[in-house]
Amino acid sequence: MGTLMLLRHGETTFNAASVFTGLLDAPLAPSGEAQVAVAASLIAAEGLVPDVVWQSTMRRATHTTELLLGESSQQVEVRSTWRLVERGYGCLTGLSKAAARHRYGDEDFFTWRRTVGGRPPSASPEQVAGWIDPAPVMERGTLDAGVGESLADVAIRVLPFWQEAIEPPLAGGATIFVVAHGNTLRALASVVFGLPDQQVEHLNIPAGHPLLVPVTAGRLGIPRYLDPDAAGVAAARVAAEGGT
């Protein structure tokens, strides 16, 4: 048996303010660090020790990994890939969700934010000039911080990662942690589980809640949160403010 554990990074300063982060490299908020501490205790109670941790190159993910492994006495291999960085939000980047709804209207907000094919328009040069601390170019691969991505675009970039780096060792019985972002994990779930578009639209992955997927003979089992009640409450809160 193999084990896949998916974890969205802890809450960031932008998440706490309900601001679209995208490829801005926001740090964890104190609340996010506390979330990761709880996640680490749940993982330890489950007896999970990863063979490898794959993480996004963005600092909110790398800091989450550092905190997650900080108490471990075992050496764990950590690998990073730009394919797991957050979705490029284009013109939505840096806007609060309330401001985005007001500026673009509910229909575009939902289409760009939640549908599989909805792609936010590119940010203007003036918007880009006002951003603070976008992720360095070398850490976001081929992505342009000002260009919007659809969730389908994100699925295209995470698919090779899944096929080459994750699927083979899982089939061999490895335990693999993936520490990434709400939308890269949504995209990964859509690829891995073959979710229909409507289900993906309503999928919300809360920050800091470990999601465990058992793997038997190369087949994925039913995913479960290590604390399903708390994760359900957190996911509902995310949905109420406009989604992951």
Q: Which residues are catalytic?
A: 9, 86
Among candidate residues 170, 179, 241, 165, the one with its CA nearest the CA of residue 210: 179
**Sign of the dihedral through C-alpha 45, 46, 49, 50:** negative
Roughly what angle, to the nearest 10 degrees, separates helices 151-161 and 182-193?
70
Take residue 113 and report the two structure tokens written for it.
């934010």
DSSP-based three-state secondary structure for 221: coil
Give me the helices (H) in the chain, please: 13-16, 30-46, 59-69, 97-114, 125-129, 151-161, 167-171, 182-193, 197-201, 228-240
DSSP code per residue over 169-205: HHHTT-EEEEEE-HHHHHHHHHHHHT--HHHHHT---
Q: 176 and 169 in contact (C-beta within 8 Å)?
A: yes
